[in-house]
Chain A
Amino acid sequence: MGAQQLTGAQQRPDRVVVVGAGQAGYQVAASLREQGHQGGITLVGQEDGLPYERPPLSKAYLKGTADESRLWLRPEAFYTRERVTGTGTVVAVDRPARAVRLGDGRVLGYDHLVLATGSRPRTLDVPGADLRGVRTLRTLRDARALRTDLAGAAHVVVVGAGFIGLEFAAAANEMGRRVTVVETHRRPLGRVVSEPTAAYVTRLHEERGNELLLGQGVAGLRDDGCGRVAAVELADGRLLPADLVLVGVGAAPCTELAEAAGLSVAGGIVTDEQLLTGDPCVSAVGDCAAFPDPRSGARVRVESVQNAVDHARLVADRLTGAPRRYRDLPWFWSDQFSVTLQIAGLDRGHDRAMVLESAPDCFSVLLFRDNGLVAVESVGRPGEHMAARRLLGGGVPLSPWEADAPGFTLRAHLKARSGGPVPAAA
């Protein structure tokens, strides 16, 4: 698909329909109104209740009290005030007619359609994967059920040492549960963090008493005789007792609607650098979108709040007459125990990792590729993380040998290179 022009008739559509009322869908609606969009906004979401934030679901929510309204991105009054309407499930997109069809038969016409359908958890393809007590975590409904299950569970097994699995493992541990994490790769967070950070995360969990079984597959899940999970069978034949199993083996983008509508799908709904699909009347944002990474040029799909919000803001700008190319820097955080891991940039394979450590629980890992900085992972160094966001986002160069100088900090480098105001050290 060639880059579409940054101007054109599609720029100020009247009726915008957004499919998916999650982080990205909500933000499209909110930013459209903020940018002065006067026309209709229909935000079609298939979950119950108001749009909410997912990050607490694997963190504070599991341990906390039940006040779910604290998870809402906005209260009901917002949607009334801003005339943002709709619930339901979109079952088909009719691009020639510029309309979507809902599960209850309603048909909604659009001038512009935004696909913000998110992603869904992958599941295990082993015997017993559908037993009771085997769960995934994506929605508030999932989190509610897990919270109930956790209250009565003694042995928790987490399958997959990704962010959600590890956050859940930390929360369950803090609630006094025995937790075992089973991961097929040799280290946790294998696809997303560097070796030094993975080693730190392993130690963090082990020191608090979580057992990590790395390089270990799951062969199946065993029944207690009444349809409920009782044990996890490992690839080596061992049995782990389990009365609750969280499967956290990644997520897959929800692309069925796009595919059925004839839009290009390749590991996500394919967009250009303006987040437009091949159809100038259809955009895709958030977890479901596969877009060109402005730094590497590769097509990427990112699952994070930052990505959902920044995508949404860009589309809202475009639809209100201010088109631009997507340039925002990816950033992410994960809370496990009392530790916050922060990531700036997107590491698609580094050839050098340099650890800057100020204390055992305070370090940054600088990741280089072809002698240029591509990402920074930090623990306990929020100032360095923010400096990394600025450096990477602003394209300020940093070579490994510059970073190798004694006493080097990203903050000082940013100050020296940008000359602009830099926050004083605390």
Chain B
Amino acid sequence: MPQITYVAADSTERTLDVSAGLSVMRGAVMNDVDGIAAQCGGSAQCATCHVYVDPKAVAALEEMDEEEDDMLGYTACERRPNSRLSCRLQVTDALDGLVVHLPERQY
């Protein structure tokens, strides 16, 4: 199973097995990772699942669509070039080892 590492704003890390097919957001919620609110449950409506993807991994991700790009303009913490909505990041075997950094707040 692919492993995803979630790094909290205070630098505590959790590395979890997340089934391919789940989103990076769902992997966090199902494993009780704090720091991803996911208010809309993955419908790209809330921007409270914002993460900073490890810069080295950005290129390996599928490109974002217009909807995600729009939503990222409304995150609680600043948008950076490596910002993504974790509900839009589908876990695949190719993403094994992905590291995402969680912003300080989601609201």
Instruction: Flag whether A386 is at the interface (Cβ < 8 A).
Output: yes
Q: Within B22-68, which residues are at the interface with A (CB < 8 Å)?
A: 22, 26, 29-32, 39-41, 43-45, 66-67
Asked whether A383 and B31 contact (CB < 8 A) given A53-B41, A309-B39, A313-B107, the answer is no
Query: For the complex, what is the distance from the CA of A389 to the CA of B41, rounded to whole Å?
Result: 19
The smallest C-beta distance from A35 to any residue of chain B, in angstroms, reads 12
Instruction: Flag whether B97 is at the interface (Cβ < 8 A).
Output: no
B-side contacts of A81, CB under 8 Å: 32
Chain B residue nearest to A34 in the complex (CB): B34
Asked whether A383 and B43 contact (CB < 8 A) given A422-B73, A423-B74, the answer is no
Chain B residue nearest to A390 in the complex (CB): B74
Instruction: Flag whether A103 is at the interface (Cβ < 8 A).
Output: no
B-side contacts of A333, CB under 8 Å: 40, 43, 45
Query: For the complex, what is the distance from the CA of A121 to the CA of B60, rounded to whole Å?
Result: 46
Instruction: Flag whether A375 is at the interface (Cβ < 8 A).
Output: no
Asked whether A382 and B44 contact (CB < 8 A) given A306-B39, A423-B72, A426-B69, the answer is yes
Q: Are B30 and A389 touching (Cβ within 8 A)?
A: no
Asked whether A386 and B70 contact (CB < 8 A) given A53-B41, A55-B43, the answer is yes
Query: For the complex, what is the distance from the CA of A32 to the CA of B73, rounded to whole Å?
Result: 28
Chain A residue nearest to B75 in the complex (CB): A423
The smallest C-beta distance from A71 to any residue of chain B, in angstroms, reads 8
Instruction: Flag whether B89 is at the interface (Cβ < 8 A).
Output: no
Q: Are A305 and B74 touching (Cβ within 8 A)?
A: no
Query: For the complex, what is the distance from the CA of A335 to the CA of B39, rounded to whole Å?
Result: 16
**Chain B interface: which of A72-80, A178-186, A219-227, A253-261?**
A72-80
Instruction: Flag whether A85 is at the interface (Cβ < 8 A).
Output: no
Q: Are B43 and A75 touching (Cβ within 8 A)?
A: no
The smallest C-beta distance from B104 to any residue of chain A, in angstroms, reads 12
Instruction: Flag whether A56 is at the interface (Cβ < 8 A).
Output: yes
Instruction: Flag whether A70 is at the interface (Cβ < 8 A).
Output: yes
Q: Are A383 and B66 touching (Cβ within 8 A)?
A: yes
Chain A residue nearest to B45 in the complex (CB): A333
Instruction: Flag whether A418 is at the interface (Cβ < 8 A).
Output: no
A-side contacts of B79, CB under 8 Å: 423
A 373-409 to B, binary, CB cutoff 8 A, 1 in contact else 0:
0000000001100100110000000000000000000
Query: For the complex, what is the distance from the CA of A77 to the CA of B71, rounded to whole Å?
Result: 30
Chain A residue nearest to B23 in the complex (CB): A70
Asked whether A386 and B74 contact (CB < 8 A) given A72-B30, A75-B30, the answer is yes
Asked whether A74 and B32 contact (CB < 8 A) given A313-B107, A333-B40, A382-B44, the answer is yes
Query: For the complex, what is the distance from the CA of A74 to the CA of B35, rounded to whole Å?
Result: 12
Please give the residue numbers on chain A whose beta carbons come within 8 Å of chain B beta carbons, in ascending order.
Answer: 53, 55-56, 69-70, 72-75, 77-78, 81, 305-306, 309, 313, 331, 333, 335, 340, 342, 382-383, 386, 389-390, 422-424, 426
Please give the residue numbers on chain B whose beta carbons come within 8 Å of chain A beta carbons, in ascending order.
Answer: 22, 26, 29-32, 39-41, 43-45, 66-67, 69-74, 79, 107
Query: Which 4 A-B pairs give the minimum distances between C-beta atoms?
Result: A423-B73, A383-B70, A426-B66, A426-B69
A56-B41, A73-B29, A383-B70 known, 20 other contacts, Cβ within 8 Å: A69-B30, A70-B30, A72-B29, A72-B30, A74-B32, A75-B29, A306-B39, A331-B45, A340-B43, A382-B67, A383-B66, A383-B73, A386-B71, A386-B74, A389-B74, A423-B69, A423-B72, A423-B74, A424-B73, A426-B66
